Amino acid sequence: MPKEYKDCVTAVMQSGKSSTSAHAICAAQFYKKHGKTPREAAHEGKSSTEFSLEEEQIFDLIEAIGPIFVQRLLDESETKTELISNEAAVWTTKYVNDLPDSCFLYIEPGEKDGEGKTIPRSKRHFPYKDSGGKVDLPHLRNAIARAPQANVPPAVKARVQARARALLAKRGGNPQE
Of the candidate ranges 13-17, 71-75, 140-144, the one whose mean pLDDT is the lowest: 71-75
Beta bridge partners of 135: 129
Taking residue 145's Cβ as centre, other Cβ atoms within 10 Å add up to: 15
Q: Which residue has the higher pLDDT, 82 or 146?
A: 146
Q: Are 17 and 25 in contact (CB under 8 A)?
A: yes
Report how far residue 157's alpha carbon sits from residue 80's, in angstroms, rounded to the nearest whole number.
Answer: 20
Report how far residue 36's alpha carbon sits from residue 141's, in angstroms, rounded to the nearest whole number.
Answer: 30
Beta bridge partners of 129: 135
Please indicate, yes or no, if residue 50 is contained in any of the structural domains: yes
Single out the residue of 134, 149, 138 nearest to residue 125, CA to CA.
149
Please indicate, yes or no, if residue 11 is contained in any of the structural domains: yes
What is the share, in percent, of the chain residues with pLDDT greater than 70?
69
Buried b / exposed e along 94-107 (16+ C-beta atoms within 10 A): eeeeebeeebbbbe
Please indicate, yes or no, if residue 85 is contained in any of the structural domains: no
| Residue numbers of the domain that contains 125 | 93-170
Among the three residues 36, 59, 80, which one is the final residue of a domain in this structure? 80
Do 67 and 104 fall within a single domain? no
Predicted pLDDT at 82? 38
Which band of pLDDT confidence, cut at 50, 70 and 90, is reported for residue 114? very high
CA 10 vs. chain centroid, Å, equals 12
Do 99 and 162 fall within a single domain? yes
Q: Which residue has the higher pLDDT, 33 or 154?
A: 154
pLDDT digits (tens, 9 = 90+) for 67-99: 555 555 555 544 433 333 333 357 888 888 999
Domain total of the chain: 2
Predicted pLDDT at 87? 36
Do 75 and 103 fall within a single domain? no
Q: Which residue has the higher pLDDT, 156 or 5?
A: 156
Do 75 and 109 fall within a single domain? no
Entry field: residues in the chain:
177
Please indicate, yes or no, if residue 136 is contained in any of the structural domains: yes
Predicted pLDDT at 51? 65
| Residue 24, pLDDT above cutoff 90 | no
Please indicate, yes or no, if residue 126 is contained in any of the structural domains: yes
Q: Are 58 and 19 in contact (CB under 8 A)?
A: no
Q: What is the pTM of this model?
A: 0.51
